[in-house]
Amino acid sequence: MKLTLLFGLAWTLLCSCVSSPGPDARLPLYPSEDSAYWPHYETASRQIEVVKNFETRHQIVASYLTPDFRAAIAERYRSIFNDQKPVFEAATDSTGFFVSVYSANRNLEDLSNSELWNITLQVKEGTLRPTRIQRLVPKELWSAFFPTISPWSQEYLILFKLPVMAPESGSPQGLTLNLSAPDGSAHASW
């Protein structure tokens, strides 16, 4: 009797732990598995590692929020959350970047600290400074779109004001995003 009860309890525990989504449940695709999204992410993103004496000082992933990439993010958002919420609406009339930064020195992860970071955008017309640097939370939301996010990184939306371009000219090219800190500099070009 005790053996049967013990076996039944073990079987119930095993079955409850080894389950899969039912027919009414759907797991979202990992960003790299989403064939409609991933090519846009790869085109828009640059990964930079700053290494000194075999030690990683910074890992930075910057994604240029072009109209095409923002549309791909919006479509992925719709498919995951079943909602048409606008994403990165602030980047519509600006040049925007989603930046994920990890630093071995936790004090250097705050991109909004202008005493530690100098952030500029080099364009044909000259050098621009950000009009907005906003920390983005929660990580769980953004990791559905940006696979390099980790528990140790910080994520930011960085906006630069560029002259409004004619629709037929598309997104500006020849951009270099510069992120400089005491531990090293990173440069990403599109």
pLDDT tens digits, one per residue of 58-93: 899 999 999 999 999 999 999 998 888 878 888 888
pTM, 2 dp: 0.81
Residue type for position 66: T
Judge contact between 58 and 127, C-beta under 8 A.
no
Sheet strands (E) in 105-149:
118-123, 126-128, 132-135
Report whether the peptide linkage leading into residue 138 is cis, meaning its omega lies within 30 degrees of zero: yes
d(CA 131, CA 177): 14
Q: Provide the sign of the torsion angle of the four alpha carbons 51, 100, 141, 21, taken in this order.
A: negative
Report pLDDT digits (tens) over 93-145: 899 999 999 998 888 899 999 999 999 999 988 999 999 999 999 999 999 99
